[in-house]
C-alpha cells in the first residue's frame, strides 16, 4: 500500500492535521469565553479564567510572530535573545532628496528596533540592515 492509497482510505495529510490544531485552538478559545461569561453571571472570580483566555488568544499571534522572525537572515546575533516581538511593519526610507523611497521592514522588540530589507533573491525573507537599542520606546508605545 503506498501513500496515495492511505489518502484515499481516509488518512489525513499533514496540512489537514495542522488545520485541526488551529481549529482546536479556536474551540478552546470559545470554551474559555463561555467559562468567563457564565462565571461572571454566577458572580464568581473570573481572574484566572480570563488569564487562561488571554493565553489562548495570544498563541496564534505569537506563532505568526515567530514565523516572521524566522524569516530574518544575516542577523549577527541570536534573534531569540531579542525577546517578544511587539510590532512589525513596512515603512519607506528616503536616503537623498528627490530620490525614490526604498521599502524597508521594521521589527520592534522589547529593547531593540530591527531594520531589514526584503531579500532580492527571495522576497519572503528579510535581510538584516541595522538595529537600534531602545530603552524607553516601549513605555511611549503603550501611551498611545
What is the tens place of the pLDDT at every residue in 71-115?
999 999 999 888 888 889 998 888 777 778 888 899 999 889 999
Query: In which residue are the cell numbers 536616503 written?
Result: 95
Domain limits at 119? 73-144
Q: What percent of the chain has pLDDT over 70?
A: 85
Give me the half-sphere count of Cα atoms (radius 13 Å) on the Cβ side of residue 54.
Answer: 6
- Verify that 115 and 141 share a domain, yes or no: yes
C-alpha cell at 66: 515567530
Instruction: Identify whether the C-beta of residue 55 lies closer than 8 Å to the C-beta of residue 109.
Output: no
> Domain end: 19, 40, 70, which one?
70
Number of structural domains in the chain: 2
- Verify that 83 and 26 share a domain, yes or no: no
Per-residue model confidence as pLDDT tens digits over 21-71: 778 888 889 999 999 999 999 999 999 999 999 998 888 888 888 888 999
> Domain end: 70, 95, 118, which one?
70
User: Quick one: three-class SS letters along the chain?
Assistant: CCHHHHHHCCCCCHHHHHHHHHHHHHHHHHHHHHHHHHHHHCCCCCHHHHHHHHHHHHHHHHHHHHHHHHCEECCCCCHHHHCCEEEEEEEEECCCCCCCCEEEEEEEECCEEEEEEECCCCCCCEEEEEEEECCCHHHHHHHC
Amino acid at each position: 500500500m503506498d501513500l496515495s492509497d492511505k489518502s484515499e482510505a481516509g488518512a489525513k495529510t499533514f496540512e489537514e492535521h495542522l488545520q485541526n490544531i488551529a481549529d482546536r485552538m479556536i474551540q478552546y478559545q470559545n470554551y474559555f469565553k463561555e467559562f468567563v461569561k457564565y462565571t461572571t453571571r454566577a458572580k464568581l472570580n473570573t481572574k484566572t479564567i480570563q488569564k487562561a483566555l488571554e493565553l489562548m488568544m495570544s498563541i496564534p499571534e505569537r506563532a505568526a510572530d515567530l514565523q516572521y522572525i524566522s524569516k530574518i537572515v544575516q542577523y549577527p546575533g541570536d534573534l531569540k535573545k531579542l525577546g517578544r516581538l511587539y510590532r512589525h511593519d513596512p515603512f519607506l526610507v528616503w536616503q537623498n532628496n528627490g530620490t525614490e523611497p526604498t521599502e524597508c521592514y521594521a521589527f520592534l522588540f522589547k529593547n531593540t528596533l530591527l531594520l531589514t530589507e526584503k531579500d532580492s533573491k527571495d522576497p519572503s525573507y528579510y535581510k538584516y540592515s541595522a538595529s537600534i537599542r531602545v530603552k524607553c520606546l516601549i513605555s511611549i508605545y503603550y501611551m498611545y
